[in-house]
Chain A
């Protein structure tokens, strides 16, 4: 069970860290440290099993039907990497505790740090390639967050963006490559893929898979030509650089190359692609490192160079080179992390990392100096340190490359050149910063950092020394286990030793040492005068500049495409939408035409035709009047709606007719409430104002739209006629009719479908309704009407005269004035409407009715109170909290669904109880009724909330007037402030 915990624990820790106070440095560091150490312990406990060559696997089925499982897998190599990630994590946590200042928001740091660690462990322990890619992208994302930790600095933001673009883009390539690879190998499980090496290399799709995977790995490991993001990522806090940019994340790329080495390596394509990228990075990185002024810049380019070394070793297609690569992954992580820590300590204590300003720090910081010197010596490959052993292994491997003379001689030569450069920049790094005359103008007075900050660095340096002196004991067994897990049976005999006798690699090393020292001297002369990097700057080869101009070009293209392919104008979009719909309808029509069907027609009833004559005229009239006569248009559209409603009655759909009728009423009231806020518009004014030319253009446009409307109308009419004259196809309808009574227990098939068979749909629908109501409410809270609509409308002023009607007493028994009689009627109506609603609700299962209709009836009755009595009067006596109705309705409906769970049946299964109650008699109760009650409550709440919120807007304008009159009672405003009070 522990593998999955190694991955989950950091994520859990990340969540916890996010919620601890952001200034609690110690708490955060303890939390992160404990999590990391726990991971170390869990990983250690796996070692005995792994050491025997076993592979630890944990699989969790996710979607077995699709062959998807979450698999964690640990073999020797994964174990070594896990140890690297967790141990290094523990050291960095300790270091970061002292590095981060009291002002930094540490919660964010440790939270993302732990999340990164989890993602990295996920990459390492994934036993499934797609899962690996997911974690891979997670590391890109969390590293983005960590690089941009000081997001107030523009270089941090730019660096983070660049790193994310490059590595996440590479991740996408990797996903593509993995998909191809999985397809070839016949599965995404790592073991399946590893076993299919021969098959993969022989496959026609091998090259695309290799290119895509290599792109992913090379971008992640900052290899040429994608190396440029790494130096810019140095804007991150130093602990991040230590962890991500030397020890772990950049190693993910080479990790993947090692992981897939048995599958992909061994071909010429691999040699040239991986090997040449490695070689370029190796030499270029070391060359650039010599000219950097920033301490972290030197280390960044050196990292590119050393990762190039690993990549090159992997590209050599030799098992021994692979072992050397694994060894160097470990040894580079140790010395580079300690050097990054040293750079951070110098920065921390002096306030600068500029090599040209720093000098002679050994007086103030002797311990730091000692640690950095040993680290840099390891980087340069001085004997008795781990870097020396890797270098010897590398030199030896370059000698054994087969191929033409170019590679046989060129490769060792390049290796020596690299060695020279490494010695030069390592010397410069140490001598410039720590030795020489004391610096005069440092921002801060340098002194030794706290001991606990030195401690992680000291441990790493100690490791460099121990591995450098007794490699066979210190790392030999673990390296062997790791190599065996990758190479399997074919693992060659190898031994780690400091002394191999006087051989060519040793001579190469000596040459590099001597020549490197000489180069350093020359370099010092050159750099006194200029900061220009020879060759690179002369050719203006700046990766960052290229990258940014590429992004700008992409941006410009996207803009251009958008301009040509899209519009912001809604009218045009609607036009295009309708045209597209028309075109889509034409395609099948062109193929087969629209022959009339064979179904016998229903005999024509003159009354029906007459009704639709009126309905059609009303619809057309509404279309004509909608611009200048909104009220008339509304009434006319309402008439068309009534005709629709009658049609439902006519053709055996009483439920639809009922619902349509009440919805019609509510919609009309809603739109009436909105009319007041629209601008006044008079045809005569418009016509006089507009010049003839514009009017002509408008007329052309109208003609175009008329043609479109005619086409649309004819098309839909023809289509519906064609369908309705064809026999019905066999669908799912017979099932509903046959099973409504036996399975659903109701006679009204429509209602049974809504609340039982398709109850889940209805639950979704009422949820949408509730969301819409709340959205409307929220939008109206910030509603600002146009200034010209603020005044009371003309009609109201004419009716009420001087406005005294507004001062009517809201506590009066009945509304005074002309609305008194309607007021009485409406008050009587409320209980009756409630009764009718309950009647419809209860009979809904067997007769036309149901929750929707019932809810709308109640809502109509409520809104009538408002219309007749006025908002103030209505709200002085009833306090409706529609939000609660919505919540209650949803709870009821969901509760009815969940009631099935205790009976071990799926969500929304109906449970019924049939029995006899004293006095009442025989009773039939079902959760379906509860569900329908939920619908009922929610519909009431949503409708009333929408209408009342809108009705309230009309009171806003006058509120100021009312406040001006102290005698009037304070205006209650529950619809707007109900939530605040409740």
Chain B
């Protein structure tokens, strides 16, 4: 499982980085989206993978840390997801404004090369 999980992160990162380096703003925003999936998965993975150990305390398992998944990366990722949405929105609006002002959707604000 770990191998597949790492591979998934790798593929998402690779696609994201590739898109980040492209010249069109929409490509960059898609790249950021994919990269944020990868980063969220990466942070989440830092708590190690655990099946069936939802960090919700129940009577059966008591409060034994060994029986639960690490909650700290989860809490971090949860806020990261929400903030990721906010930055995507901000970036989208900035790119739209830039497109309106400069007449192009190139990240540099001018057509260098297609």
Contact = CB atoms under 8 A, between A and B. Distances in A.
Of listed A626, A656, A731, A848, residue having the most chain B CB within 10 A: A626
A462 B100 CA distance: 71
B87 A772 contact: yes
A891 B35 CA distance: 34
A820 interface: no
Contacts of B29: 671
B13 A678 contact: no
A interface, size bucket: 35 or more
A741 interface: yes
A687 to B, nearest CB: 9
Contacts of A578: 17, 20-21
B105 to A, nearest CB: 6
Contacts of B84: 663
B103 A627 contact: no
Interface stretch (A483-491, A547-555, A719-727): A719-727
Given A709-B18, A724-B5, A772-B87, A737 B71 contact: yes
Contacts of B99: 677-679, 785-786
A750 B81 contact: no
A622 B32 CA distance: 12
B109 to A, nearest CB: 9
A749 B108 contact: no
Contact of B49 (A724, A732, A754, A773): A724
A660 B113 CA distance: 37
A732 B13 contact: no
A669 to B, nearest CB: 11
Contacts of B55: 652, 737, 748-750
Contacts, number: 326
A622 B17 CA distance: 12
Contacts of B75: 750, 753-754, 758
Contacts of B33: 637, 641, 667
A571 interface: yes
A195 to B, nearest CB: 51
Contacts of B114: 686, 689-690, 694, 698
B81 A659 contact: yes
A712 B17 contact: yes
Nearest to B8: A612
Interface string B43-55: 0111111111111
B89 A708 contact: no
Interface in A677-713: 677-679, 681, 686, 689-690, 694, 697-698, 705-706, 708-710, 712-713
B8 A749 contact: no
Nearest to A638: B33
B81 A660 contact: yes
Of listed A652, A738, A776, A784, residue having the most chain B CB within 10 A: A652
B100 A615 contact: no
Contacts of A828: none
A670 B88 contact: yes
Nearest to B20: A574
A734 interface: yes
Interface in B33-86: 33-34, 37-38, 40-42, 44-58, 63-65, 68-72, 74-75, 77-79, 81-86
B53 A652 contact: yes
A675 B105 CA distance: 12
A755 B44 CA distance: 19
Contacts of A969: none
A697 B70 CA distance: 48
Interface residues of B, number: 91
Given A694-B113, A786-B99, A776 B93 contact: yes
Given A602-B2, A679-B104, A724-B2, A619 B51 contact: no
A712 B19 CA distance: 12
Interface in A643-658: 643-644, 647-648, 650-656
Contacts of A786: 99-100, 103
Contacts of A678: 25-26, 96, 99, 105
A955 B20 CA distance: 31
B47 A709 contact: no
Of listed B44, B72, B87, residue having the most chain A CB within 10 A: B72
Contacts of A654: 54, 56
Interface string A899-927: 00000000000000000000000000000
Contact of B71 (A575, A712, A753): A753
A749 B86 contact: no
B72 A753 contact: yes
A965 interface: no
A647 B21 contact: no
Nearest to B89: A946
Nearest to A947: B89
Given A651-B69, A772-B87, A716 B78 contact: no
Given A660-B81, A716-B38, A942-B86, A747 B57 contact: yes
Interface stretch (A233-241, A315-323, A509-517, A603-611): A603-611
Given A623-B19, A626-B22, A748-B56, A647 B14 contact: no
A716 to B, nearest CB: 4
B48 A724 contact: yes
A747 B54 CA distance: 11
B4 A626 contact: no
A953 B77 CA distance: 32
A978 interface: no
Contacts of B30: 622-623, 626, 633-634, 637
7 contacts: A620-B14, A626-B22, A666-B85, A754-B79, A769-B82, A780-B97, A783-B96
Interface of B: 1-27, 29-31, 33-34, 37-38, 40-42, 44-58, 63-65, 68-72, 74-75, 77-79, 81-90, 92-97, 99-101, 103-105, 107-108, 113-114
Shortest beta-carbon contacts, A-B, top 5? A713-B14, A717-B10, A721-B6, A709-B18, A734-B65
Given A728-B48, A737-B55, 20 more contacts: A571-B107, A599-B48, A602-B1, A608-B4, A619-B11, A620-B14, A623-B16, A623-B34, A627-B22, A630-B26, A640-B37, A641-B33, A653-B44, A674-B95, A698-B114, A714-B10, A731-B70, A748-B55, A750-B74, A847-B56
